[in-house]
Homo-oligomer: A and B are copies of this chain.
């Protein structure tokens, strides 16, 4: 495979993967492009390489920066802003894990705690509901803890975790 073909295939795949995970395609594609670019790119560069509009580029770059996985860079003598992706993959994964925990898991836990607090003595259906949602709360909160544990070590957490799990 040639470089250009490989690059385009990678960007397409990353974009498709994004969609399956509730991240919009363009956002994932911009991220993919920045990841494999040795140097920071300008908005113009991104628009041209992905063939997308200025507005689209601007909005998705902002979203990527909100996630903390893309940074602005300034080049001396240049008026334009340039953009680069988080270069360290461990760090990238940690940031994504943290954001998803904050945005999705934590709010879900709050709701689970809330709904599982009903009085179980009103009906057997209510008792079952209470038991199930408590079980779910327990599970999700353990999983969230685990995620925190795994990602809190800064370097090479995947390797370290696997070593622990192999014992």
Q: How far, in whole Å, are A106 and B25 apart by their CA atoms in the complex?
A: 19
Using a Cβ–Cβ cut-off of 8 Å, how many residues does chain A contribute to the interface with B?
57
Interchain CB contact under 8 A, A146 and B161: yes
Q: How far, in whole Å, are A167 and B161 apart by their CA atoms in the complex?
A: 11
A104 contact set on B, CB distance < 8 A: 17, 20
A158 contact set on B, CB distance < 8 A: 139, 142-143, 146
A13 contact set on B, CB distance < 8 A: 108, 111, 115
Task: Assess A146 versus B125: contact at CB under 8 Å? Given A6-B115, A104-B20, A111-B10.
Answer: no
Binds B, one of A47-55, A64-72, A76-84, A127-135: A127-135
- How many copies the complex holds: the figure is 2
Measured between C-beta atoms, what is the minimum distance from A154 to chain B in Å?
Answer: 15
Interchain CB contact under 8 A, B22 and A20: yes
Which of B90, B115, B139, B166 contacts A10, CB < 8 Å?
A: B115
Measured between C-beta atoms, what is the minimum distance from A145 to chain B in Å?
Answer: 6
Measured between C-beta atoms, what is the minimum distance from A6 to chain B in Å?
Answer: 4
Cβ < 8 Å to B, chain A residues 113-167: 114-119, 122-126, 128-129, 132-133, 135-136, 139, 142-143, 145-146, 149-150, 158-159, 161-162, 164-167
List 8 contacting pairs A-B, 8 Å CB cutoff, sorted by A.
Answer: A2-B118, A6-B129, A10-B111, A21-B22, A38-B125, A149-B162, A149-B165, A167-B167
